[in-house]
Amino acid sequence: GNSVTQMEGPVTLSEEAFLTINCTYTATGYPSLFWYVQYPGEGLQLLLKATKADDKGSNKGFEATYRKETTSFHLEKGSVQVSDSAVYFCALRPGGGSEKLVFGKGTKLTVNP
Amino acid sequence: NAGVTQTPKFQVLKTGQSMTLQCAQDMNHEYMSWYRQDPGMGLRLIHYSVGAGITDQGEVPNGYNVSRSTTEDFPLRLLSAAPSQTSVYFCASSLPDRLEAFFGQGTRLTVV
């Protein structure tokens, strides 16, 4: 079946620290991979995506690389800001034309000044 | 563009009551879906629709009904609310093969 496992939170960092949130997946076929972000009191927004092996998604200083050999899609940012405080969800869309999204449990990030 | 609009934002129900959570999108998206978000569980798919007149069950459909009479609207009905349905509900829409799903701001439902 399809599943996503991401690191448990919460994660607390100081401003300008380096961020890594680990995400691994299990999927049949060739999934697309996503990171969504949820700011307090809001819905989810797409942060970045990758559709095939070795693709790198990037946005707002965040990056993640689709690693088929390790079935991973780890989220990284070199220097976090207080405004990055949010919950981050790793997700996959199975191949074969499915529109369904399978989400990880989410990782809450708090960045302190 | 309004995007995906959910109403209400907050709701308290008594056990056994029924209600409908509304979801509307103005982007002419064919695919719409409902998720529930529970602490430590991520988002789980309740029901989805690939177009008007077509709906199907997701991972956790029990206790919920949906219908899709128009492209724009995808209401979620709770027939007899239970405390286990206390959750935050999100509606989402997307175009086929466009990869990005757009989410509403959520409805926080408490069943007492």
Residues of B in contact with A107 (CB under 8 A): none
Do A89 and B33 lie within an 8 Å CB cutoff?
Answer: no
Is some CB atom of chain B closer than 8 A to the CB atom of A71? no
Mutate to test the interface with A, among B4, B43, B46, B74 (most CBs of A within 10 A): B43
How far A4 CA sits from the closest chain B CA (Å)? Answer: 10
What value does the mean pLDDT take over residues A48-77? 96
* Overall average pLDDT of the A34-38 stretch: 95
Separation between Cα atoms, residue B20 and residue B7, nearest integer Å: 9
By Cβ distance, the residue of B42, B50, B100 closest to A89 is B42
For chain B, say whether A107 makes contact (Cβ under 8 Å): no
B105 contacts B9 by C-beta, under 8 angstroms: yes
Mean per-residue pLDDT over chain A, rounded:
93
pLDDT of A72 reads 97
pLDDT at B1: 61
- Nearest Cα residue in chain B from A104: B42
pLDDT of A16 over the 70 cut: yes
User: Could you tell me if A70 lies within 8 Å of chain B, comparing CB atoms?
Assistant: no
Residues contacting residue B33 through CB under 8 Å, at least 6 positions apart? A99, A100, A101, B45, B46, B47, B48, B49, B58, B74, B91, B92, B93, B101
Per-residue pLDDT of chain B (112 residues; tens, 9 = 90+): 679 999 999 999 999 999 999 999 999 999 999 999 998 888 999 999 999 999 999 999 999 999 999 999 999 999 999 999 999 999 999 987 667 899 999 999 999 9
A16–chain B nearest CA distance, Å: 27
Residue B97: predicted pLDDT: 67
pLDDT of residue B99: 73
pLDDT tens for A42-55 read 889 999 999 999 99
Using a CB-CB distance cutoff of 8 angstroms, which residues of chain A are in contact with residue B104? 43
Confidence at A96, pLDDT banded by 50, 70, 90: confident
The stretch A72-100 carries a mean pLDDT of: 92
What local confidence, expressed as pLDDT, does residue B100 receive? 84
Give the residue on A whose Cα is nearest the Cα of B95. A99
Reported as a pLDDT band with limits 50, 70 and 90, residue A28 is confident
Beta strands at A32-38 and A44-50: parallel, antiparallel or unpaired = antiparallel
**Nearest to B21, CA basis, from B66, B82, B70:** B66
A84: helix, coil or strand?
helix
